[in-house]
Chains A and B, each alone.
Chain A
Amino acid sequence: MSDFTKPYTSATQAGLLLVPTLVVLVAFLYYPAVETLRLSFFQTLLLGTKQQFVGLDNYVALATSAEYQKSILVSFLFAAAVVVGALVASLFISYLLFEVKAGASGYLLAAIWPYALPTAVAGTILLFMLHPTLGIITHYLEALTGLTFDWFTSGPLAFFVLVVVAVWKQLGYNIIFLVAALNNIPETLTESAQLDGVGRLTMLYRVYIPLISPTLTFLVVMNTIYAFFGAFPLVDLMTSGGPNNATNLLIFKLYRDAFEFSSLGQASAESMILFGIVSLLMYVQLRFSDRHAHYGA
């Protein structure tokens, strides 16, 4: 190996090159994380003024709070619905995009643009379009079905609306990865499978899915993170956690406890618990996929 390809000449130089990244990580990730852990043992008034050490009180209060337990349940249900819904929908759309011959780039563009829209903007626009009494979509939906679609007062409906919107928002991201993965599959495999007379859906299920399983694993992880953290603007703008806490996701609850209800200490404890839950989920998912995802050999 020549010196030409070696990026650095000494350990000091290597360290110096790492400094900018480390500074950013420490200032914006590690320090806030440690501070959050510290605050979770304190009781606070108005954003950390008048801190008082209370030990594990915040955690005990959360463990015994029915509202918090419901929030955990709702978050898990939401994550499951969003991950399954987003993956299934994007897999089918990607498969169609992969197979289509004419105007492929036009379809691709149409399929991924929701991802380009900021979540907060999407939430605001959709709130007006889906508003139970003022929304244009609701208006036609009710005219066509004859049902009333009042998701402001019905918990299950509000949950359903939130899931649909969250799935829609995530489609573009998934499709980009899935279309890329599908296009990487050697054409010889497709051809030989077609010669064997394999049908389209069997082809997807038996041939393509195993081959793109690393991408799918990656997307399961990313979509889980999205469902636990990324759906926050949608909840904040569209349902505010209601009605009756039916959409009170953990990430929204902790924001509200910290910045609206002035309990930064308790919210920090919630933040630590959420971090724990999602870390654990990641670990389980990756262990599971080690056994089942096909990375080639």
Chain B
Amino acid sequence: MTNRNTRRTFIRTVGAAGIAGLAGCSQGGQEQTQDSGGESGSGGSTETGTTAGSGSSGTTTIKFWHAMGGDIGKLIDSLANEFEQQADGISVEATQKGSYRETLNATTSAVQAGNPPAISQIFEIGTQLAIDSGVFAPIEDIIPEDKVDFDNYLDSVLNYYRIDGKLHSMPFNSSNAIFYYNKNAFEEAGLDPESPPTTYQGVMDASIELTDAGVVDKGTTWPNHSWFVEQWFAEQNQPFVNNNNGRDGRATEAHFESDASKNIFDWWTDLYEKGQYLNPGIEAWSEAQQAFLTQKTGMLGYSTSSIAPMTDGAKKNGFELGTMRLPTPGGKRQGVVIGGASLWAPKSVSDEKKAAAGEFLAWLTKPEQQKRWHTNTGYFPVRKEAISQLEDDGFYEENPNFRTAIDQLRETKDSPATRGALMGTFTKVRTTVEEGYVNMIQNSNQSVSDGLATIDSQVEDALTSYNKKVN
């Protein structure tokens, strides 16, 4: 009898503990982030004095949280070290906090726990959300005016991050969408490897030639990512949302039923139906890259941020890489939107640390550092001088793949469409667009315009419910 009871009690207890433990999971995760924030904070003070500074007042340690892994992460570490060596009494602790979204969440949690980093990297689509959260100080206010002259920064980059005339964050890693292509495959298929397609129709024709020649499985691929759709809206000078892309007031309406939008989705679904678009999955950057590098496709839509590693990757796989501009419908070219991320300063950190962060940011965006940043990654330098110095050095003649990216950026004409959309709920909009595309290709009965109508109404619902929260 006792045996029977204990066994049942055991099962109940284990069951209850199991649910309780797992139900609290989401909350627990946040808790941990806060804890680790606290830890690295306390670790900082013990490091005082490790940097041999000339000042007697000691060292100010600032935390810099970012989302750059791998080689780019190491580059950031070495930049931080170099800054420490030439700065008086400032030490920078750079930490990778995971993905962009995780870095944003970690920063917000740390702000609430009262121990935020002095600098945090936030992706471009988090801009409106970061402003609305009210936890960040505009970067213009913390960098001393004599340290930087914003006239020397690239206009297209500044235009993205300047909202209501104020620069809220320091542009850091900026990129655009670009297409890569396999020059060897082009040659084998009888296409001119030096004049890649520039239009939607051109990509379709080249794809058919490539597959007909049997050199690749499918013509092209790119991650099913709303970012490309946003770029193609801009190229056709079509704002993504109303109120001048959300820059003259809160966006309330989406423009997915516009002609520009139809052009994009007609072409994209057509490519899929003709077996020319390899669908790597939603936001599947690495799968798309793998498909291209293993020569399953002849072209790849990707980010300019990977020009350097992609060139190496192609060489290892035995082919020569070419870069081409984003193909557009009928060759319309208004320009591209800045992607990537910028650096934000939480306002609750001490003035001393803010000043140190300002010093670091001013140093980081100097032409010297920006040249290194650009040539080692493919992210744009945010300074005009960096580009002109590299031009004088003949860098772009030796590395024509970088040239395409810079040209595409410099030819961008400023307009509300190319400044990019501002929405607090951008992450949700992106997911809606990406899932919307899957629905279009999943269901052959559903026309593209029906699919776009669904996306349009879902995006507008998301905008409405977000706007209700902030008003």
Using a CB–CB distance below 8 Å, which chain A residues touch chain B? 28-29, 32-33, 35-36, 43, 45-50, 52, 128, 131-134, 150, 152-155, 214, 217-218, 221-222, 225, 228-230, 240, 242-245, 254-256, 258-262, 267, 271, 274-275, 278-279, 282, 286, 290, 295-297
Contact = CB atoms under 8 A, between A and B. Distances in A.
Nearest to B294: A134
A260 B100 CA distance: 10
B27 A36 contact: yes
B435 A134 contact: no
Contacts of B22: 225, 228-230
A286 B11 contact: yes
B428 A295 contact: no
B389 to A, nearest CB: 39
Given A152-B281, A261-B425, A282 B15 contact: yes
Interface stretch (B128-136, B153-161, B252-260): B128-136
A48 B105 CA distance: 10
Given A133-B280, A134-B290, A240-B283, 8 more contacts: A29-B24, A153-B441, A154-B442, A222-B14, A245-B435, A259-B101, A271-B23, A282-B16
B7 A32 contact: no
Given A225-B22, A243-B438, A244-B442, A131 B112 contact: no
B15 to A, nearest CB: 4
A258 B105 CA distance: 10
Contact of B112 (A49, A244, A282): A49
Give 5 closest A-B pairs by Cβ, nearest first: A32-B27, A229-B22, A275-B23, A153-B442, A46-B133
B282 A240 contact: yes
A152 B28 contact: no
10 contacts: A29-B24, A46-B133, A131-B280, A133-B278, A153-B441, A221-B14, A225-B18, A242-B438, A244-B442, A259-B26
Interface in B449-468: none
B302 to A, nearest CB: 16
Contacts of B428: 260-261
A244 B439 contact: yes
Contacts of B3: 295-296
Contacts of A35: 27
A116 B30 CA distance: 26
A290 B1 CA distance: 14
Interface string B94-130: 0000000110110011011000000000000000011
Interface residues of B, number: 62
A84 B300 CA distance: 43
Contacts of A131: 280-281, 287
Nearest to A257: B428
A28 B24 contact: yes
B291 interface: yes
B15 A225 contact: yes
Main secondary structure of the interface of A (DSSP, over half): helix
Contacts of A278: 19, 23
Given A133-B278, A240-B282, A45 B11 contact: no
Contacts, number: 161
B97 to A, nearest CB: 13
A242 B19 CA distance: 25
A222 B16 CA distance: 10
Contacts of B442: 153-155, 243-244
Contacts of B165: none
A33 B102 CA distance: 22
A295 B7 contact: yes
Interface in B264-295: 278-283, 287, 290-291, 294
B250 to A, nearest CB: 14
Given A28-B28, A261-B428, A243 B18 contact: no
B279 A153 contact: yes
B133 A290 contact: no
B296 interface: yes
B8 interface: yes
A244 B435 contact: yes
Contact of A32 (B24, B101, B105, B135): B24
A36 B14 contact: no
A157 to B, nearest CB: 10
A33 B17 CA distance: 13
Contacts of B105: 47, 259
Contacts of B384: none
Contact of B279 (A36, A50, A133, A259): A133
A290 B101 CA distance: 46
Contacts of A133: 217-218, 278-280, 291, 296
Contacts of A243: 435, 438-439, 442
A45 B133 CA distance: 7
Most chain A beta-carbon contacts within 10 A, residue among B105, B130, B441, B470: B105
A33 B109 contact: no
A296 B11 contact: no
Contacts of A221: 11, 14-15, 18
A254 B26 contact: yes
